[in-house]
Amino acid sequence: MSDYNFLMESRLSPEQFAVVGLFSRLAAEQGLNLYLAGGAVRDLTYGQQLVRDLDFIVAGPIARLLRALPQADDKKPGRPSSPGATPALEYQEVDERLSSAELVFSSGVRAELAMCRDEVYSRPAQRPEVRPATVFEDLKRRDFAINAMAVSLHPNSRGLLLDPTNGAGDIERHEIRAMHSRSFLDDPLRIYRLLRLGLRLDFKPDERTQRWLDIAWEEEAWTNLDQDQQSRELAAILREENPGRILKTLADRKILGGLDKKLASGGLNYDLFARVRSVMQSAPTADPFLLNFHCLVAKLGGGQKQRLAKRLIGDAKVIKLALGLERDAKKLDRVLNSSRASLPSQAYAVLSPQPQPLLFFLLAFTKRAKVQNRIKNFLFKAPQIESRLPRAELQSLGVKPGPEFEKIIARVFAMQLDGKIKSPQQLTKVMRDLGGIKEPPPPPPPPPPAKKKKEAVPEPPPAPGRKGRKRAVPSGAPAPAAPGKAVAEAQAPTPPVTQGAKGLVKKSAPKAVESTPKAAAASPKPAPKVLFAPKAKPAKPTKPARSSKPKRAGKPAAKSHKPKKPDRKPGKKSKRG
């Protein structure tokens, strides 16, 4: 079973879903059981992407709900309200005998509100007698099973499907099934409705329904319709997606005269319907009624246009708009083609006060590409920019909502339309300039990074020689220093080597670690290091013997460039450092 709560939320337009929520809340506050019924539930069940009209039925009088609906301000007809606004009732037409009302909201949503009723036909093709009934009795008295379904909108049972005649099965089989054998004779309007739904949904009548339809066709039951029934069906055809196709089918079957004899004799311009349809496909939620009405009466005289306008439209303001579409479109076309609308913000200022049907009419029938582009930008691009206006960002900068706030937002909107703001940083700067908000002081620069002390890198150890033998150190060379002291000794000055009475003596260099004068005074002077043992002089002064280095095997002895050493004592071996 389908989840109708999900279907309503995903398939209905945001404006339609807002109207459903409004009715649900008002009915719950007054303790009334409210249902969404008829064509809306049929389209949701069938999976239609577009639900045209909303049909509500309520178990009780409708007057209480009508009084509770918010009323819209008096404004130009056909002008939609701003997105996200609370739905407000703009127009209503109440039928006291049937206890039903046709409603039009400021968002452009059309709806019907009716009391749950039962109908009894005393004579064929005459208005029935009406009495209050339960919701199941109301569903069973309807025209076709696919229209005899309802979804509860009560908080305790919201989303529950009521289908006493198995209309969902007919939708699955793509069939239209009438409720009883006298359905088309009691209400001949159902003949037109079956043809209209069959063309829209590509459904066929089942076998029994086809037999009942043939009987009504033979008796020419459509000739018994009263003027009100004819007007309601003509208005329903003009709100279809492809009204030209439906009207041509009726004309081919010779039953168009059952709705209006002048239309049947005067002929229709089906090419106009095709042009309007191609334009309205880009805006499926817009109401094409007034544009299709213009196509319907295009070949009629002024008097016949007035007559049909009163029958199908009724409201004087809307009639004036419908009959003046062609004249007003020519004036607007000249303005949009001039330098007064060269910038997108200027075109928006020209188009924003105009009613929506006039804009679609001009879009369908103008031959200037420049005018078409400016209307398309207004209808499709500007609403996207308007929905992303930075209201929250402007409040975060300290500007409170009010007249000045709206002026800043309007200025930002105009600059965005003209493409003058291209980045978030530029947008913030523009809002600060328009609001007189100073730039915040720049943050202090970060402190410079601390210099790291250079760590002494120890010298790598000397490469080991052959195993078991130490590398010979030449005589007179200093002993190798420890690795840790390599850097300190490399920085200290090399002490001079002098020859004293006790042999060659190396004077010690001052220590680098003692930097204070006190430390230098307290530390004793180091004793001189003796590199060689003292050697006794011979009793008689003789010529000092030339010292010779021990020769390695296989290598000639190298000449020594070091100072001459005193003679060794006989009988003692020399010590090597």
Domain boundaries, given as residue ranges, for the chain: 1-173, 388-435
Distance separating the N- and C-terminal Cα atoms of the chain: 106
500: tokens are 């004293």
375: tokens are 């209307």
Q: Are the C-beta atoms of 88 and 70 separated by less than 8 Å?
A: yes
What is d(CA 108, CA 292) in angstroms, rounded to the nearest whole number?
A: 17
Q: Can you give the pLDDT of all 577 residues of the chain as single tens digits? A: 578 999 999 999 999 999 999 999 999 999 999 999 999 999 999 998 889 889 999 999 999 999 999 987 654 555 555 555 678 898 888 988 888 999 999 888 999 999 999 988 888 878 888 999 999 999 999 999 999 999 999 999 999 999 999 999 999 999 999 999 999 999 999 999 999 999 999 999 999 999 999 999 999 998 888 888 899 999 999 999 999 999 999 999 999 999 998 888 878 999 999 999 999 998 888 889 999 999 999 999 889 999 999 999 988 999 999 999 999 999 999 999 999 999 999 999 999 999 999 999 999 999 999 999 999 999 999 999 999 999 999 999 888 999 999 999 999 999 999 999 989 999 999 998 988 888 877 778 888 887 766 666 666 666 665 544 545 445 454 555 544 444 444 444 555 544 444 444 444 444 444 444 444 444 455 555 544 455 555 555 555 555 455 545 454 545 545 555 555 555 545 444 4
The C-alpha angle with vertex 196 and arms to 95 and 226, in degrees rounded to 5, equals 40
Q: Are the C-beta atoms of 254 and 338 separated by less than 8 Å?
A: no
DSSP 8-state secondary structure symbol assigned to residue 71: B
Three-state SS for 549? coil
Three-state SS for 204? strand
Asked whether the CA dihedral 308, 310, 315, 321 is positive or negative, the reply is positive
Closest to 127 measured CA to CA, from 99, 97, 102, 103: 97
Tell me which H or E stretch contains 189: helix 189-201
Three-state SS for 500? strand
Domain 1-173 -> CATH class:
alpha beta
Q: How far is CA 88 from the centre of its chain?
A: 26
Phi then psi dihedrals of residue 368, to 5 deg: -95, 120
Phi then psi dihedrals of residue 171, to 5 deg: -65, -40
